[in-house]
A and B are shown apart, each in its own frame.
Chain A
Amino acid sequence: MAYVAIADRDHEHELHDPQSFIRKYIWSQDHKVIAIQYAVVAIAIGLVALVMSVLMRLQLGFPDTFKLITPDHYYQFITMHGMIMVIYLLTALFLGGFGNYLIPLMLGSRDMVFPYMNMLSFWFYLLAVLVLVAGLFVPGGPTGAGWTLYPPQAILPGTPGATWGIICMLASLAIFIVAFTMGGLNYVTTVLQARCRGMTFMRMPLSVWGIFSASILGLLAFPALFVSAIMMTLDSVVGTSFFLPAVSSMGENLKHSGGSPLLFQHLFWFFGHPEVYIVALPAFGIVSDLLSTHARRNIFGYRMMVWAILAIACLSFVVWAHHMYISGMNPYFGFFFATTTLIIAVPTAIKVYNWVLTIWRGDVHLTVPMLFAIGFIFTFVNGGLTGLFLGNVTVDVPLSGTYFVVAHFHMVMGVSPILVVFGAIYHWYPKITGRMFDERLGKIHFWATFLGTYAIYLPMHYLGILGVPRRYYAYSDSIDFISPSVHIANEWISISAVFVAAVQLIFLFNLVWSYFHGKPAGGNPWRATSLEWQTPDTPPKHGNWGKDLPVVHRWAYDYNVPGAPNDFIPQNQPPDGSVPAGRDHGVKA
C-alpha cells in the first residue's frame, strides 16, 4: 500500500478544503482530524484495558470475595491489558495522536507530506483494533499467553486462546505494523522535508525530536515483531517448526522438532526493547516542552537533550537481551547486555538532570500541565532507578519474574508516559478545542492519579523483593514465605487501583464538559513560543497557516530573554521585533 502513496503523491499537494461532513471528519486527510481519530480510538481501547486491570486487581486483592474471573480469564486479561496499553494505547497515542497533531503544527507545515497515506494509516489502525477486539469473541476467547506471547505455550493447549485467540492477536499486530509503517514514513519524511523556512533541525522543539526518533525506532524495530508474528502464525497453522521444538503436550508427542523458543524471544525483544523507547522518547520530548513553557525558562542544555535522545535511540537496539538474562540463552551474553544497559542510563540521567535544572532558576507556574510534568519527573526517577536493578544482570536474577518487575515497568513505561499524556492533553487542549479545561477538575485528577499510582506501585517493589511471583492468578497459603501481610498489601493495592481507575472518569468528564462549556482560550493561553501557538486560527483550520507559511527566526525556548519586553518570544517573531503581518500571536495582556 505504501508504494501507492509514495509514487503517486506530489509533494506540493494542493489543499482542497473538504466540504461534506464525511470528507471532513471521517475520510479526512487532515492531520489534525486524523490525530483526534487516533486519540479517540486509542483512549477507547485503553479504557477496555483499564477495566481488565481492575478485574485482575479485584481477583488478586480479594480472591475469596469476588469470583468474577477464572484463571483463563485472568491470563487473557493480563495479555490483553499489556498488549493494548503498550501498543494500541501508548504507541498509537504518542505517534498517531500527538505525532500527527504536533509535527506539522510545530514545524510550520500545512499537513503531513503524504496525507492520503496518513488517512490509510488510521484506518488500518482501526482495523487492527477491531481484529483485536474480535479476538475477544472467537471460540476459546483471546490469547492468554502473556503480552510477550512466548511460544510454545502461546500456541499449545493449556493456554487460553491457543487456537483462534492467538491468530487474531498476531493478525491484529501485523495490521498494526502496516498502519504504523504508513504513519511512521509520514512522520519521518515530514520532519525531514516539510519544515518551514528557518526551522533547522536544531531549532525543532524537543517534542518533535522525541516523536521523530521514536518513529525511526518504530520503523526499524516493528519489522522484528512482524517477522515473529508471521513465523508463529505458520507454526500454529501450517505446522512449521520455527519456534517449536519437539514437545510432549498434554501427554501427546507433537510432530514439531528442532525449533527454538529462544529465537522468538530474541526477535520479540529486538522489537520489544526499542518499543519501550518508542513510548518513552515522545514522552521525554513532550515533557521537556511542558516544563520549559510553564517554568518560563529555556530548556536547560538543549543540545545535550538532543544528543541524549539520539544516544538513547541508538543504544536501544543493543540492550534487548536484558529481558532474557535468565531465559536460558548463553549466560555469557549477560556481560555484554548488562554493560550496554547500564550505559544507556547515562544519557537518560542527563535528561532528568536537565529537566530539574530547567525548573531551577525558573519562574515556575504550577498549572495543571506543570503538575503532571513534575509528577512525571518523580515517577520517572523512581522507575528509572529500579531499572538499574533489573538491567544489572546479577541483581536481576533474584528479582526477575517477581512483582518488582511489574512495579518497575509500570512506573517507568506505564505511569510516567501516561502522566505526560495527561499533561500534554491539558496543555494542548486549548489549541485543539479553542476552550480551556476546568482547572479544578484537572488538579483533582492530577493528585488522585499521581498519589494513587504511587500507592499502587511502591508496595509492589517490596513484594517483589520478598519474592512474590508475578502472573499468578492466586497466592494459595501453601507458599511458605507469603505471609498474611502480603494479602493485606494486595488488598491495599487493589483498592488504590480501583480508585485510580475511577478517577479517570473525572478526566473524561472534564474533556467532554469543557468542550462545550469551557472558557474560550484564545490563541496562546500559555504564552508559549513554539509555532503551534502562533496559528492564525484556533483551532487551526485546514492548512494550518492561512495564506502564508510561517518563517522561523529562533529556537523554541526563548523565555525570559534578557532585554525582551515579554517573557517569551514566539519562534516566528523576526529579530527586529516587528510582528509578522496577518498573525495573531494570541498575546493577551
Chain B
Amino acid sequence: MSLTVAYGALFTGIVVWLLLVSRFRARSWEALPAGADVDPEHRTPPARIGLWIFLGVISSLFALFISAFFMRMGHNGVASDWKPFPEPLILWINTAVLILGSVAMQWARANVSKGDSKRTRDALKVAGVMTIAFLVGQILAWRLMIISGYFQPHNPAVAFFYLLTLMHALHVIGGMYVWGRMLLRMRAQAGEQHTDQALELTRKFRLSVELCTVYWHYLLFVWLVVFALLLTHSIDSQFVFDRLCDAGSGWRLASG
C-alpha cells in the first residue's frame, strides 16, 4: 500500500517538476521578454488563490486520513479486528440535504452576479439551513450508532467512521462561521441602506459568495468521497455488490 503511494507520489513529483521547470526557463539575467510579467492589477484576487491553496491542504488532510484507513485495514491482510457494520440509513438523507445546500449556494452565486441582493440572501439562508440540517443529521447518525450498539471504539471500522465524519463536520462548521458573518454583514449593510433593493453588492461581497460556493462544493465532494468509502466498506455493501453483480450477469445472460 505505502509503496503504491510512494510510486504514485514519485510519478506525480516528476511530472510536477517537469511542468515547473518548463515554466521557469527564463534567463533571469536578461531583459524581460514581452508578456513575461503579469500586471499586478490584473492578477486573480489573492483570496481566491488562498482558498484554492487551502483546499489543497484539506485534500492532503483527507487523502492522508483515507490512506490511513486503507493501511490500517490492510495491515496483515484484512485486519481481523476490522468488523464492518451497516451504515446508518440517515446518511443517505444527509447526503441529499448537503447536495441541496450546495445547489442553494450555487443559486446564491447566480443571483449575486445578477446583483439581486434579496434573492442572494434568501439563497444563502436556504443553503445555511440545509447545512445545519446536515450537521444535525450527522449528530443523529452518531446517536443511532450508539443506540444500535455498534459503538465500540476499539473496532477500527467504527473509529474511522466517527473520525472521518467528525473531521468533515468540523470543516463544515468552519464554513458556517464564514456564512454567518457574511449574512450578518449583509444585513447590517441592508439596514444602513434602509431598502434591500438599493443595496449595491460590492465586488467584495460577490467574491465572498463565490468563494463560499466553491468551498461548499468542495466539501460536498469530500463528503461524497468519504461516504462512498464508508459505504463500500460497510456490512451491507457486500450484499449490494452481490445484487449488482447478479443483475449484471443476468443482464449479460439475457442479452447473450
Contacts and interface: CB of A to CB of B under 8 A. Distances in A.
A492 interface: no
A258 B75 contact: yes
Contacts of B21: 307, 310
Interface stretch (B43-51, B89-97, B110-118, B242-250): B43-51
Contacts of B20: 307, 310
Interface stretch (A2-10, A131-139, A446-454): A2-10
A205 B54 CA distance: 25
B211 A307 contact: no
Contacts of A189: 46, 49-50, 53
Contact of B175 (A3, A219, A262, A266): A3
Contacts of B204: 10
A560 interface: no
Contact of A267 (B17, B28, B68): B68
Contacts of B9: 317-318
Given A310-B21, A321-B2, A258 B71 contact: no
Contact of A302 (B28, B80, B215): B28
Interface stretch (A54-62, A237-245, A509-517, A538-546): A237-245
A193 interface: yes
B71 to A, nearest CB: 5
Contacts of A257: 81, 154
Nearest to B182: A7
Interface string A165-192: 0000000000000000100011011101
Contacts of A310: 17, 20-21, 24
Choose among A193, A332, A336 the residue with the greatest number of B CB atoms under 10 Å from its CB: A193
A472 interface: no
A331 to B, nearest CB: 12
B107 to A, nearest CB: 18
Contacts of A318: 6, 9-10, 13
B40 A195 contact: yes
A223 B28 CA distance: 35
The contact size tier of chain B is 35 or more
B211 A6 contact: yes
Contacts of A317: 9, 13
B6 A321 contact: yes
B167 to A, nearest CB: 8
A303 B28 contact: yes
Interface stretch (B31-39, B124-132, B142-150): B31-39
A203 B53 contact: no
A227 interface: yes
Nearest to B166: A230
Contacts of B46: 9, 11, 113-114, 189-190, 192-194
B194 interface: no
Contacts of A1: 174
Given A2-B54, A223-B57, A238-B153, A314 B14 contact: yes
Contact of B60 (A194, A198, A220, A557): A220
B156 A220 contact: no
B2 A333 contact: yes
Given A3-B174, A3-B177, A302-B28, A263 B163 contact: no
Contacts of A307: 17, 20-21, 24
Interface in B32-87: 32, 36-37, 39-40, 43-47, 49-51, 53-54, 56-57, 60-61, 64-65, 68, 71-72, 75, 79-82
Nearest to A340: B10
A234 interface: yes
Given A257-B154, A317-B13, A7 B212 contact: yes
Contacts of A9: 46-47
Given A303-B28, A310-B20, A314-B14, A223 B60 contact: yes
Contacts of B71: 260, 263, 266
A181 B21 CA distance: 26
Contacts of B82: 258
A388 interface: no
B26 interface: yes
A257 B182 CA distance: 47
A558 interface: yes
Interface string A1-37: 1111111111100000000000000000000000000
Contact of B3 (A198, A259, A267, A336): A336
Contacts of B65: 227
Nearest to B156: A241
A202 interface: yes
A201 B65 CA distance: 34
B72 A314 contact: no
A9 B205 CA distance: 10
Interface string A51-78: 0000000000000000000000000000
A221 to B, nearest CB: 8
A240 B156 contact: yes
Contacts of B215: 3
A196 interface: yes
Contacts of A337: 6
Interface string B181-207: 110000000000000000000001001
B3 A314 contact: no
Interface in A323-354: 329-330, 332-333, 336-337, 340
Contacts of A6: 47, 50-51, 54, 211
A202 B163 contact: no
B27 interface: yes
A7 B82 CA distance: 41
A241 B207 CA distance: 44
A231 interface: yes
A408 to B, nearest CB: 23
A404 interface: no
A555 B32 CA distance: 10
B16 interface: yes
A195 B16 CA distance: 23
A303 B27 contact: yes
A519 interface: no
Interface of A: 1-11, 113-114, 181, 185-186, 188-190, 192-203, 219-221, 223-224, 226-227, 230-231, 234, 238-242, 255-260, 262-263, 266-267, 270, 298, 302-303, 306-307, 310-311, 314-315, 317-318, 321, 329-330, 332-333, 336-337, 340, 554-555, 557-558, 575
Given A241-B156, A263-B72, 11 more contacts: A1-B174, A6-B47, A200-B36, A231-B68, A239-B153, A241-B154, A242-B68, A257-B154, A321-B6, A557-B28, A557-B29
- Closest A-B pairs by Cβ, 5 of them: A258-B81, A314-B13, A113-B46, A223-B61, A240-B159
30 contacts: A3-B51, A6-B51, A7-B178, A7-B182, A10-B45, A10-B204, A185-B57, A189-B46, A190-B46, A193-B43, A193-B44, A193-B46, A223-B57, A223-B64, A238-B153, A242-B68, A258-B75, A263-B68, A263-B75, A266-B71, A270-B64, A306-B24, A307-B17, A307-B24, A310-B21, A311-B17, A318-B13, A329-B2, A554-B29, A555-B28
